[in-house]
Amino acid sequence: MSSVLSLSDVCWRYEDGASWTLAGIDLSLTEGEVVGLVGLSGAGKTTLLLAMAGLIPANYAGQFSGRCSVQGELGIVFQDPETQFIGLTVEEEIAFSLENRGQDDRAIERRIEDVLALVGLSGFASRSPFELSGGEKQRVAIASALAHAPKLLLLDEPTSELDPKGAREVFSLIRRLKEEERMTILVASHATEELAQFCDRMLLIADGAIVMDMPADAFFSQVASLDAHGIHVPDMVRLYHALCTEGVLDEKTTPCPRTVEDMLTLWQSLVRKGEVAIP
């Protein structure tokens, strides 16, 4: 699998910042992987995504150093989708990024239909993006980012301003983009319960440095490190590790379930095998 993005020793300091907001980031993203980025507020997640998207001016001497290269285009979606909207209708909103690339009207129309179907918003083309629910707005923003078929999609806390229903819509869209479109996605989020369910790889950023970078299973097994960094450990992961400590489950033979459904399946199989008894 080929690399779609690589950062090498990237450092960035805001003009009025006393310290480095990004302090020597080395990172490579591989085609097809879905990566979760977690870290406390102010750790540098948004700044890292801006650097990846080339939105941090790399020519500012004294503020930027290192190398960042992206193979192909990328799409980025921010926390508050409304700040990105410029169209009066959903259709205009999505068309904007395509018109700027000089595509003809028929191709643009087809692409709009395709991306709206992809994000589950067929029939929304003539609606105002400002009058949609939070989850729908975020899906329109994702559709706009996907319109020009980017190789990499960056999502910056895409559910932090949404109610549980809107958040579920966005997370299930991310899963669909992973499973059906095989997209390469990086999601910065505090929602570790959901990230644990679909991410292949996890990154933890603290004080501008990547301090953990590993497959999601290994990442979530580091309960003590996650606790020490103030990262929420998903309930199923915590339950699994408590059961391992109690000797009910064996870490060597039983992989950690990431969802309630997976835990239920594991539990039912243990009951069937007589390894645990329900009193």
The Cα–Cα gap between 240 and 252 comes to 12
Nearer Cβ to ligand ATP, position 44 or 150?
44
Nearer Cβ to ligand ATP, position 52 or 236?
52
Contact 245, 221 (CB under 8 A): no
Nearer Cβ to ligand ATP, position 40 or 276?
40
Tokens of 150: 């980017």
Contact 56, 10 (CB under 8 A): no
Nearer Cβ to ligand ATP, position 8 or 160?
160
CA angle 36, 241, 245 (to 5 degrees): 155
Binding mask 113-152 for ligand ATP (x = CB under 6 A): ----------------------------------------
Q: Burial, 84: exposed, middle or buried (Cβ in 10 Å; 0-12, 13-18, 19+)?
A: middle
Q: What are phi and psi of 70, to 5 degrees?
A: -120, 130
Query: Cβ of residue 183: shortest distance to ligand ATP, in angstroms?
Result: 22
Q: What are phi and psi of 3, to 5 degrees?
A: -80, 140
Binding mask 38-67 for ligand ATP (x = CB under 6 A): -x-xxxxxxx--------------------
Nearer Cβ to ligand ATP, position 45 or 258?
45
CB atoms within 10 A of CB 236: 21
Binding mask 152-171 for ligand ATP (x = CB under 6 A): -----x--------------
How far is CA 198 from each of CA 20, 33, 255, rounded to the nearest angstrom?
31, 10, 15
Query: Cβ of residue 175: shortest distance to ligand ATP, in angstroms?
Result: 22
Query: Cβ of residue 69: shortest distance to ligand ATP, in angstroms?
Result: 21
Count CA atoms closer than 13 A to 16's CA, side-chain side: 0
Contacts (CB under 6 A) with ligand ATP, residues 9-38: 14, 16-17, 21
Nearer Cβ to ligand ATP, position 16 or 104?
16
Q: Residues in contact with ligand ATP, total (CB under 6 A)?
A: 13
The Cα–Cα gap between 257 and 11 comes to 37
Nearer Cβ to ligand ATP, position 136 or 157?
157
Query: Cβ of residue 41: shortest distance to ligand ATP, in angstroms?
Result: 3
- Residue ranges binding ligand ATP (CB under 6 A): 14, 16-17, 21, 39, 41-47, 157
